[in-house]
Amino acid sequence: MILAKLVEYQVPGAGIAFVENGRLAWEQGFGAKNWTTGDPVTRQTLFQAASLSKPAFAYVVMQAIDKNEIGLDDKLTKYLRPVDLKPHRWSEQITVRDVLQHTTGLQNWREDADGPDPLTPAFQPGTDSTYSGEAFHWLQRVMEQITGLGLDAMMRERLFQPAGLEDMRMLWEPGRDSREVYGHKVDAEGAIIVDDLQFIREHGPRLEEVAQRWGRPMNIWTAQDHVRAVASMRPHTHSRLKDRPAWRWGRPGAFIIDSASSLRCTAGDYARFLCLMMPGRKRAPWEITEQSRQAMLTPQFELEIEQGRLPRGFGWGLEKRDNGVAYYHWGKNGPSHISVALGDATTRKAIVIMTNGSNGNALIKDLVTSLMGEEYIGIIT
């Protein structure tokens, strides 16, 4: 059935993992990692999780709150002020809570703008909602300052290693490139083709060259290391990258190590992470407290949509169910790396679907309903 759906939606490949009774039940790869070569997707294939990075990072932030390293209502400017943050009374009010529930008022990614505009809140924090990758990146820099660790090292030490999530990394690494999918699109004739720009395979090696020059591996880099690296990397030659202005390479949206977007993993490992959010399980000492788990899955702010109200927790989109709550997040990097993660705390089921084609969104909506056996508004809308 799943292979037939890939054909129907013209998606080259997918990694899918399913959780039952709060445990990983199965994980499987389907289709092709690279349509041209025919290399198959397997359980070991790595996908760009994109914005599925945010809940994982939020989990580590909640750990830090449990340890009293940072406070939920601490203002970010208490720790660090981005050099391009526009001076404004609202900028001073942005808290950790605002970042985790997307109520900072900050832009999503500024590299889409016409010039190097400043980081600017559009409204008083906490009064409205705008989805913001920039806010997560600011909090990443704060967490790096507090812990003394770069993002990937922090996530490995505090989540990936203790949870046994062996294939999770917050960056592209050359030694894992052969396991990672290629992005695809459908051309004007309706044929699946490999996208001519594989951004990470153009950009990553240039930063790896800098890392080798420095004798400082990328997996311990901080955000500030990244800024320094792009200033000294080999120039891009790809037609879609060579004319980008220099200021764009220093913006978070171009970072390959970013709390909002850079996670790489298998579908199975992300499903194992979803299990950490399930109720009714014995929690290890390194995990977030039960109070923090409940806070992540408690509505903090509600969005008005045509079908009703969709609440947000800390790091997760939420959906109220008959006897509990479902938690979910979409991810999209570029046109073709599209994924979703959904857990239902009531049924103790969860699903992760990761794709490598520009029609991944439609495929995911169909498969989630089929495999979970019911509709979820946050997925089908």
CA–CA gap between residue 372 and residue 157 (Å, rounded): 33
One-letter identity of residue 204:
G
Answer left, alpha or beta for residue 240, where phi above 0 means left and psi between -120 and 50 means alpha. alpha
| Whole-number pLDDT of residue 118 | 84
Percent of the chain at pLDDT > 90 equals 85
| Whole-number pLDDT of residue 268 | 99
CB atoms inside a 10 Å sphere around CB 8: 12
Q: How many Å separate Cα 215 from the centre of its chain?
A: 28
This prediction's pTM: 0.97
Q: Is the pLDDT of residue 228 over 80?
A: yes
Q: Is the pLDDT of residue 308 over 80?
A: no
CB atoms inside a 10 Å sphere around CB 76: 25
Residues 6+ apart with CB under 8 A from 193: 35, 36, 184, 185, 186, 187
Average pLDDT score over the chain: 95
Strands (E), the chain: 13-20, 23-34, 39-40, 47-50, 184-186, 192-194, 263-265, 301-305, 308-312, 317-321, 324-333, 337-344, 349-355
| Whole-number pLDDT of residue 112 | 54
| Whole-number pLDDT of residue 158 | 99
Both tokens assigned to 256: 């390959």
CA–CA gap between residue 9 and residue 359 (Å, rounded): 6
Both tokens assigned to 350: 């969860």
Maximum distance among all Cα pairs of the chain, rounded to whole angstroms: 57
Q: Is the pLDDT of residue 180 over 70?
A: yes
Question: What is the torsion angle, in degrees rounded to the nearest 10, for the CA atoms of residue 309, residue 313, residue 316 and residue 321?
Answer: -50
Q: Please give the helix or strand (H or E) that residue 272 lies within, else none.
A: helix 267-275
| Whole-number pLDDT of residue 307 | 60
CA–CA gap between residue 109 and residue 250 (Å, rounded): 12
One-letter identity of residue 124:
Q
For residue 39, the cross-strand partners are: 34
CA–CA gap between residue 51 and residue 263 (Å, rounded): 8
Summarize the confidence of residues 326-339 as an average pLDDT: 97
CA–CA gap between residue 350 and residue 341 (Å, rounded): 8
Q: Is the pLDDT of residue 115 over 80?
A: no
| Whole-number pLDDT of residue 247 | 83
| Whole-number pLDDT of residue 280 | 86
Cβ contact 27:15 at 8 Å: yes
CA–CA gap between residue 272 and residue 270 (Å, rounded): 5
| Whole-number pLDDT of residue 248 | 87
242-279 burial, b at 16+ Cβ within 10 Å, e below that, comes to eeeeeebbbbbbbbbbbbbbbbbbbbbbbbbbbbbbbe
Summarize the confidence of residues 225-248 as an average pLDDT: 94
Q: For 258-306, what is each residue's pLDDT tens digit?
A: 999 999 999 999 999 999 999 988 999 999 999 999 999 999 988 776 6
Residue 159's pLDDT band (boundaries 50, 70, 90)? very high
Cβ contact 102:72 at 8 Å: no
Residue 372's pLDDT band (boundaries 50, 70, 90)? very high
Q: Is the pLDDT of residue 114 over 80?
A: no
CB atoms inside a 10 Å sphere around CB 338: 28
Q: Is the pLDDT of residue 195 over 60?
A: yes
| Whole-number pLDDT of residue 251 | 86
* 137 vs 87, residue with greater confidence: 137
Q: Please give the helix or strand (H or E) that residue 76 lies within, else none.
A: none
| Whole-number pLDDT of residue 166 | 97
| Whole-number pLDDT of residue 84 | 87
Question: Under CATH, what is the fold of the domain 2-380?
Answer: Beta-lactamase (3.40.710)
Strands (E), 220-280: 263-265
CA–CA gap between residue 364 and residue 157 (Å, rounded): 32
Both tokens assigned to 316: 């997760």
